[in-house]
Amino acid sequence: MTVICELAFVLPAGASFATAATRLGQTGARLSGLTWLDLYAPAADASRDPYVQDGPAPQYLAMLGFGSIAVLDRAAATAAFADLLSGLNVVTCTAMRLAAFPVGGESSPGPLTAPYCYVVRYHRPADDEAAFVNHYLDGHPPLLGRLPGIRNVMCYLPLLWRRTAGPPPADYLIGNEVAFADAATFDAAMVSPIRSELRAHYLTLPRYSGRNTHYAMDRSRLFG
């Protein structure tokens, strides 16, 4: 199992993106048990989803991968983790289980190498959270995997985490992410018939009253 610690943050006043990325990579490399660290920034090329236009992402994301929640627990108790948080204006700190799905007829999920990502988050509340998540997982990832040009399909399932200090967790029901080689490939997928099938499946989801967000982001690997 891969466990993700998602840090949603804004740049400190006067800080440049390049400086923040360098510091994040250097500090993350000191974290015991860290498998990989990815940085997501608002995409330079806007998405052209015909159904959703949420605009540029309001925050950056640091996605830290660990082998288990116990490994994350130990890392979060270290001075290196405290240093990582202190260097960023962290808004939320959320533990999630990563579920990756095969795409395009593959027998198993491939590695995450594509840089252009569509980051989707469904927020609480829902009438029946378990029913919502199960319905989403049963129908949405298989459809996403049929989008032309798609490279990765991932879902993120929030975990109960014993950490009590620091930034709060986000109020996610479920997270989703799809990766493409570039914005043009993504835009072509958005005008395919599969995008209409995805919209139809979305309309069958159990009732919820939270918001859902869709942001195009550029991903870079800083460690691992």
Give pLDDT, residue 166.
85
On whether the pTM is more than 0.85, the answer is yes
- Per-residue confidence (pLDDT) for residue 164, from 0 to 100: 66
pLDDT digits (tens, 9 = 90+) for 113-169: 999 999 999 999 999 999 999 999 999 999 999 999 999 999 999 999 877 678 999
Q: What does the pLDDT read at residue 163?
A: 74
Cβ-in-10-Å burial (0-12, 13-18, 19+) of 160 comes to exposed
Share above pLDDT 70 across residues of the chain, in percent, rounded to a whole number: 100
Per DSSP, helices labelled H in 64-192 are: 69-76, 79-86, 129-144, 183-190
**Widest CA span in the chain:** 50
pLDDT at 162: 75
Report the distance separating Cα 216 and Cα 46, nearest Å.
7
What integer pLDDT is reported at residue 5 of this predicted model?
Answer: 97
Q: For 98-115, what is each residue's pLDDT tens digit?
A: 999 999 989 899 999 999
Q: What integer is the mean pLDDT of 210-214?
A: 96
14 φψ region: left (φ > 0), alpha (ψ -120 to 50), beta (else): left
The whole-angstrom separation of Cα 4 and Cα 1 is 10
- Residue 213 pLDDT > 80: yes
How many CB atoms are located within 10 Å of the residue 170 CB?
17
Mean of all residue pLDDT scores within the chain: 95
Domains of the chain by start residue, with CATH: 2-223 (3.30.70.100)
pLDDT band at 87 (very low <50, low <70, confident <90, very high): confident
The C-alpha torsion from 1 through 179 and 34 to 163, rounded to 10°, is: -70
